[in-house]
Structure 1
Amino acid sequence: MTITVHPVILCGGSGTRLWPLSRKSYPKQFVPLVGETTLLQDCAERMLGPSEAPYAKPLVLTNEAFRFIVPEQLAEVGIDPGPILIEPEGRNTAPAILAAALYLASRNPDAIMLVAPSDHVIPDKTAFHKAVAEGARAVSERGDLVTFGITPTRPETGYGYLKLSHAPDSSERAVPLDCFVEKPDADTAQSMLEDGSYLWNSGIFLFAVRDIVAAFQQHAGSLIAPVQKAVAEAKTDLGFLRLDPAAWAESADISIDYAVMEKAENLSVVPFSAGWSDVGSWTAVQELSDVNEDGVATNGDVTAIECRNVLIRSESPTQEVVAMGLENVIAVAMPDAVLVASMDKAQDVKQAVTTLKEKGAKQAETLPVDHRPWGWFESLVVGDRFQVKRIHVHPGAALSLQSHHHRSEHWIVVKGTAKVSIDDKEQLVSENQSVYIPLGATHRMENPGKVPMVLIEVQTGAYLGEDDIIRYEDIYSRE
């Protein structure tokens, strides 16, 4: 019997260990950390499955902040996703996976779902699809809940482990799981590496919808009612499915491992040794990068002189980073923040983010580029009573019909053509032309063309915050 795999992509997370490139407003899954495509795009292409096997369109779970970024990035690589479920707030992996299972169960109770985070790297897609096929046999023949274990290559203290019933060999497809093991200390990690029966916990799962729902009913019954209600009372919004906020808030904030996997008995593990990374630190990025004979990995406009074992990145096309005589150092330069850290502190970068949040630094969570459903804008200069922005509007996109209490705006088009409405007047503004929006005027900007439209906006006024926006109409249903 042919088995159709239903991919489920978990696309939340903040990726604080990869600050300053990954931040809460635009985390690592949306960034091209390795190669030209983003981690989300790589994941989605991997979840399309091999040409000879039926894989359904991927179901994606994400949050309000990313709901337009997800389809935009998938469209860039030619992927038409299936349903996109919007989580009202982050409640960890157990409620998210249960919501996906219940959604699929209402349409195909016999479905097999493949659950994966959106921010992992698995270079060998063929090997991954083969491992999924091995897992599917354990699911269909024995009703197992399957997870994928990564063959460890070092005594890693940053990962959880899977203890198998015995050390796997190349002939075995899926091995019974003995238990989950928390992140170990260095000595324990070394002994587990030598033992051979421990694998890294990848956080990737495969199970039949009816089996995982039954497991939730048995081991985490308190989650069923609120998540079921959140799915049943979900509202369709511009092609997205918004889970009911009130019901969702009643669900526990708990991982799938704690809620179900550590309690279930019908678990097996498919060993995977063809390369994997959760890209959980800057040292992981270095390992995935092209390095020279001295272990130097660079990205962007970087000059490294007499350096050894370093990762140096410039994330701005106007910023040249020069490193001299460095060893075992991470340096990541953004337009608004720079990280310089010892390699052995890579796992502690999230502590720096916590410290920045405590001191009220906006760089802790937000990037200079602010992504919106219609495109993005970037603050170029901020001064007393004025601000200069670069605004990029996608073809066919439009900003909301709005006004401001405290600022006026001057728009200069530098690329494309803008369709501008000011009160009851409408006009086209072409390249090298400008238009003035007085304080309090009701206005809207659209891109009627087939190419991106770029303009420079000069704001002047007593208050220039983004919350000084009164929306009257918005095609993206923002409040």
Structure 2
Amino acid sequence: MHIVIIAGGTGSRLWPVSREAQPKPFIRMEDGYSLLQKTYLRGLAAVDVESVTTVTNRDLFFRTEDDYRELSPSEPLHYILEPFGRNTAPAVAAAALELQQRYGDEALMMVLPADHLIQDEAAFAQATASAAMAAAEGQLVTFGIRPTHAETGFGYIEVGEDSHVTYGQAMRVERFVEKPEIEIAEQYLAGGRHLWNAGMFCFRVGTLLEELTTYASELLSGVKGALDSAEASEIDGHSVTRLCAKTFGTVVDDSIDYVLMEKSSRVAVVPCELGWSDIGSWLAMAELTAPDQFGNRVTGKAELENTQNCYIRSDRRLIATVGIQDLVIVDTPDALLVAHRDQSQDVKNIVQRLKVQGGDLHQHHVTVHRPWGTYTVLEEGERFKMKRIVVKPGASLSLQMHHHRSEHWIVVSGTAKVVNGENDILLRTNESTYIPSGNKHRLENPGIIPLVMIEVQSGEYLGEDDIVRFEDSYGRC
């Protein structure tokens, strides 16, 4: 089996924890693992895995690598990096074409979204075994979740009228149904022949490409062109395919459900009960935390007085509430969300307005991840900004220059190798250097522990786009 993890989307309904530069797959759960890490580990535990392919945005590549590196992977990792999102159909097609080149038509691929949660991993392994057998016989297999309530936010899969739903066994699909009105959803729940569409799939590579040729030939041709014009490289023993923006931009933006699964006559579903959640809103996230006697669910530190049926999440500060009910409260260092439980899906509207207004609140946290490490904005005002910079061992920033700001670097811990104009400097704890605007400079960590330093910027413009790169280890010139 070859695992294909689709790590796309922004998770705007989970703002302010989910941001464009650190979206939903990177949210850490209470056990300390991110949703991406849990997806990876779940796939490895369920089947005998030969390789893992991750399809994600090219700007998230190094963040994805950091999450995988924590798990010390032993199997080959392949990356397909998209310049921008094009929905699941192009992502699945690109992964299938690359798997065909490497492993042939008989290879089996299991497609998993990186931002879903499954709590019953034994049931998932059983469902995967059934899906693999059906896929090997030429079926396009999807996973259907037993509904627990009348849900209008999910698509449904209907099994054939002559079928009695048997959990853990592949069955014929009658049709796919779009998100229904509540009355229809209640009928589906009572009828017993409809399952939630979990967006997970299992295919034989050759079968998938044959069916795409029949039902989505234009899309498949476009993805082939994007792969032909892609840049391929090896990083730390793992293969990386960077799709060309110009070519990939011509590919149809659509889901694998719409372009193929709803049209093919070779579709099967494995009904299953997995403890599954797509964590599509803060209300769904709240359900993962046990309530207290008043129906409150708390992650982090909180003091509650006369509070009922609330979800409260705070990673740092204490949240104190008095005399409230039915609210969602999510606190981060730079943004606080307060929403009624019944309107938690509408958080995405706030994110859209933030995009229109400009600024970084829809895109970045206070701590921003970069290929070389992180920086955290500690304070900023007119003509100044202070950052805490952490550089990974062996990593370096680009050789760069700023037109409008000067910088003062002070080492807090570790050792810094600095290029400052014509000078090469080695700085240790409590040592510093001043970099005038217009000077070429570079920061590197030559040591074996993280380099921590404080950067003080001053000037008439302090935006992150005032960077001219001359050399870069991460292809950002």
User: How far did 1:467 drift?
Assistant: 1.1
Select the residue among 49, 53, 59 that pairs with 1:55.
49
2:244 alignment partner AA: D
Write the deviation string for residues 125-171 of structure 1: whole angstroms up to 9, x where unpaired: 22211111001111123x11000000011111111111111464447
**After superposition, where does 1:321-400 map in structure 2 within 5 Å?**
321-400=319-398
- On the 8 A contact 1:168/1:271 being kept in 2, the answer is no
The Cα offsets for residues 321-380 of structure 1, whole Å up to 9 and x where unpaired, read as: 112222111001112111100100011111121222233353123322221100111111
CA distance in 1, matches of 2:265, 2:361: 45
- Within the alignment, does 1:473 sit opposite 2:468 as a pair? no
For 1:90-105, what aligned pairs fall within 5 Å after superposition?
90-105=85-100
**Do the aligned partners of residues 404 and 196 (structure 1) sit closer, same or farther apart at CA in structure 2, a change above 3 Å counting?**
same
1:146 aligns with 2:141: yes
Q: Of 182, 203, 209, which residue of structure 1 is paired with 2:205?
A: 209
Structure 1 CA distance, aligned partners of 2:234 and 2:172?
Answer: 44
* Structure 1 match to 2:252: 252
- On the 8 A contact 1:34/1:288 being kept in 2, the answer is no
Q: Does 1:129 find its partner at 2:125? A: yes
Query: AA paired with 2:84?
Result: E
- Counterpart code for 2:72: G
- Which residue in 2 is equivalent to 1:19? 15
2: distance between equivalents of 1:326 and 1:281?
20
Q: Which of 55, 72, 75 is 2:69 aligned to?
A: 75
CA contact (8 A) 2:127 2:168 kept: no
In structure 1, what is the Cα distance between the partners aligned to 2:303 and 2:211? 54
- Alignment RMSD: 1.5
- TM-superposed CA distance for 1:102, in Å, is 0.7
Secondary structure, aligned partner of 1:294: coil
- Taking the aligned partners of 2:259 and 2:470, their CA distance within structure 1 comes to 44
Question: 1:220-256 CA deviation, whole Å, 9 max, x = no partner?
Answer: 1111221112112321245321123332111100111
Match of 1:162 in 2: 157
In 2, are the aligned partners of 1:34 and 1:285 still within 8 Å (CA)?
no
Residue 54 of structure 1: how far off its partner (Å): 2.0
**Does the alignment pair 1:289 with 2:284?**
no
Distance (Å, rounded) in 1 between the aligned partners of 2:383 and 2:273: 57
Matching residue of 1:460: 458
Give percent identity, aligned residues only.
43
Give 1:311's aligned residue.
311
- Structure 2 matches for 1:203-282, cutoff 5 A? 203-237=199-233, 239=235, 240-282=240-282
Whether the 8 Å contact between 1:135 and 1:174 is mirrored in structure 2 is yes
1:217 alignment partner AA? T
Contact 1:48 1:58 in 2 (8 A): no
Q: Which residue of 2 is the match for residue 407 of structure 1?
A: 405
- The aligned amino acid for 1:285 is M
Structure 1 residue 446 displacement after superposition:
0.8
Number of residue-to-residue matches in the alignment: 470
Match in the other structure for 2:446: 448
Q: For 1:176 and 1:344, locate their aligned partners in 2 and report how far apart those are by CA, in whole Å.
A: 36
Q: Distance in 2 between matches of 1:447 and 1:320?
A: 35
Distance 1:27 1:264 in 2: 32
State which drifts further: 82-91 or 8-17.
82-91
> Could you say if the C-alpha distance between residues 326 and 199 of structure 1 is closer, same or farther in structure 2, counting changes exceeding 3 Å?
same
Conserved 8 A contact 2:126-2:168: no
Deviation at 1:123, TM superposition (A): 1.6
Q: Offset of 1:201 from its aligned partner?
A: 0.4
Question: What is aligned with 1:298?
Answer: 298
- Which amino acid in 2 is paired with 1:58? V
Partner Cα distance (1:454, 1:350) in 2: 35
SS of residue in 2 equivalent to 1:300: strand
Conserved in 2, the CA contact under 8 Å of 1:409 and 1:457? yes
1:238 & 1:444 partners in 2: Cα distance? 25
Partner letter of residue 349 of structure 1? V
Give 1:444 deviation, angstroms: 0.8
Distance in 2 (alpha carbons) for counterparts of 1:447 and 1:346: 43
Distance 1:18 1:28 in 2: 7
Q: Is the 8 A contact 1:48 1:57 kept in 2?
A: no
* 1:413-442 deviation per Cα after TM superposition (whole angstroms, max 9, x unaligned): 112221112122222222222221122111
Contact 2:167 2:270 in 1 (8 A): no
Q: Residue 420 of structure 1: SS of its match in structure 2?
A: strand
Tell me if the contact between 2:299 and 2:313 (Cα under 8 Å) persists in the aligned partners. yes
Q: For residue 433 of structure 2, what is the aligned residue in structure 1? A: 435
CA contact (8 A) 1:162 1:180 kept: yes
Give the partner amino acid of 2:374: W
> In the TM superposition, what whole-angstrom CA distance separates every residue of 1:270-306 from its partner, at most 9, and x where no partner exists?
0111210011100111111232232222222322223
> What corresponds to 2:181 in structure 1?
185
Per-residue displacement from partner, 1:374-423 (whole Å, max 9, x unpaired)? 01111111111110111111111110111111111011111222111212
CA contact (8 A) 1:238 1:476 kept: no
- Read off the aligned partner of 1:244 and give its amino acid letter: C
Q: Tell whether the 8 Å contact from 2:165 to 2:192 is kept in structure 1 after alignment.
A: no
Displacement of 1:20 after TM fit? 0.7
**Contact preservation (8 Å) 2:144, 2:198:** yes
Determine if contact 1:48/1:56 at 8 Å carries over to the other structure.
Answer: no
Ranges in structure 2 where 5+ consecutive residues have no aligned partner: none
